[in-house]
Structure 1
Amino acid sequence: MTHFVLVAGAWLGSWAWDEVVPELRAAGHGAHAVTLSGLAERQGVAAGQQTHVADVVEVVERLDLRDVVLVGHSYAGIPVGQAAERIGDRLARVVFVDSEVPAHGASMASAWWQGQAAFEAALAENDGFWVPLTAPEFEGQGLTDGQIARIVGGATPQPGATLTEPAELARPLGELPATYIKCLLDGAEPNDAVATLLKSEHWRLVTMDTGHWPMFSQPRELARILLDAAATRT
């Protein structure tokens, strides 16, 4: 029995996995969706990036989970990638869903396409938070109007320190057994950091013909890919 620990990206909570969790459980596995500190029902809890790493590790250890597949979507790939090496032999695989990946000493802000200063300025303008996208910004991502409304309605501001604190890795990320899911409507190719990691014999690439939020746009297809990834051993 595999235990999936599911972590959604910026602005989202455990509710983002509501259509994926039943599919995984129906296949006979455990599925544990996580809300990170400072988000959704945990708004108001102080959080930095290492807080989010600890959130993921805490769920695995508190529930005494084994044969764990950690799943990180978007921003959450950064804390999930760090948590993966910290849970030791409990880990079966880590799955990055169209996500960022951690680099030791770097943060999401430091790799921002407009530069770290621009990203930090945007946080400062919003009391230290990263504000959620508006409905028009989800266009072209394979989402229905109803799905967009659901995401926008449930999104909460992201604590800025989760985006500016540096990652801490004890060993190269390419040594971990990993699957990277690239959502093609959000760009045909993985970014350079991911492309380098995919050269590792331990990493696998899977593509989805949808946008950046497949847990909403294609939840059954995403669940199938997660189940396939859990069955992969490298």
Structure 2
Amino acid sequence: MDIVLIGGLWLDGSAWDDVVPELTALGHRPVPVTLPGQGDGAASATLDDQLAAVLAAVDAAAGKPLVVGHSAASTLAWMAVDARPEKVGKVALVGGFPTPYGRAYADHFPIEDGTVPFPGWAVFEGPDAADLDEQARERFVAAAVAVPETVARGVVRLTDERRFDVPVVVVCPEFSPAEAEEWVAGGESPELARVAHLEYVDLDSGHWPMVTRPRELARVLAKAAGS
């Protein structure tokens, strides 16, 4: 199966470099997406531009792909499902939940000179970054791409209720499946609360398992693709 991989804030397509060979070895065709404004050299981009890049990958895929969204890009993956409910076979959300209709895509970090730079590790201390050693943190910061304000403040639009019929796997890295299920049941993710086929999968890692647990993440995604 083709597996479309979308990294979260500050990540370009190379974030999946250690996951790609693992997925390939498991018999799948990984398709990492470098989002406009996040590694393609463009000075600016909009949320619509990023969605268009994801949809291009979905449309070019063989059959019905698994679309994987990490962190904030869980919303991009969900927007792609909304735009192509008949084309996407399944969606996997890694460490993130879809932003509801009418809300800003990712406006919870400071904006500086029209972009959202990586804010430093202080805001991620604890379970998010506990498995990143100093060397890994340095590599992450060196590769981080400031996200255009026009992406972060872009408004999420969802129009096709057929999205709720597409199966969803919530991959739980720095939180547990029980916690995620409780959050959804408590109304913290109104989109996921309406999904007909929803599954929670544990992954013992921090917020960036493609960096710290690429083999384990690949196995989880391969299992999701094959089920």
1:76-115 equivalence runs, <5 A: 76-109=73-106, 112=108
Asked if 1:179 corresponds to 2:169, the answer is yes
What is the CA–CA distance in structure 2 between the aligned matches of 1:23 and 1:176, rounded to whole Å? 25
Q: 2:58 aligns with which of 57, 60, 63?
A: 60
- The question of 1:29 aligning with 2:28 is answered yes
- Tell me whether 143-152 or 17-26 shows the greater mean CA deviation: 143-152
Listed as ranges, the gaps of 5+ residues in structure 1 are 113-118
In 1, Cα distance between equivalents of 2:174 and 2:123: 17
Equivalent in the alignment of 1:159: 148
CA deviation vs aligned residue, 1:161-200 (integer Å, no higher than 9, x gap): 1121111112345332110112235997234433872574
| Aligned AA (2:11) | L
Q: TM-score, normalised by structure 2?
A: 0.86
Task: Give me the whole-angstrom Cα distance separating, in 2, the residues matched to 1:186 and 1:155.
Answer: 27
CA distance in 2, matches of 1:43, 1:206: 35
Distance 1:204 1:177 in 2: 8
Q: Is the 8 Å Cα contact of residues 4 and 31 (structure 1) preserved in structure 2?
A: yes
Residue aligned with 2:51, SS:
helix
Is contact 2:85–2:166 with CA below 8 Å preserved after alignment? Answer: no
Compute the RMSD of aligned alpha carbons.
2.3
Corresponding residue number in structure 2 for 1:116:
none
Distance 1:200 1:59, change over 3 A: closer
Q: Does the 8 Å CA contact 2:92/2:221 hold for their aligned counterparts?
A: yes
Report if the CA contact (8 A) 1:79-1:102 is conserved. Answer: no
Distance 1:46 1:78, change over 3 A: same
More helix by share: 1
| Secondary structure of the corresponding residue to residue 91 of structure 2 | strand
Distance (whole Å) between structure 2 residues aligned to residue 72 and residue 206 of structure 1: 15
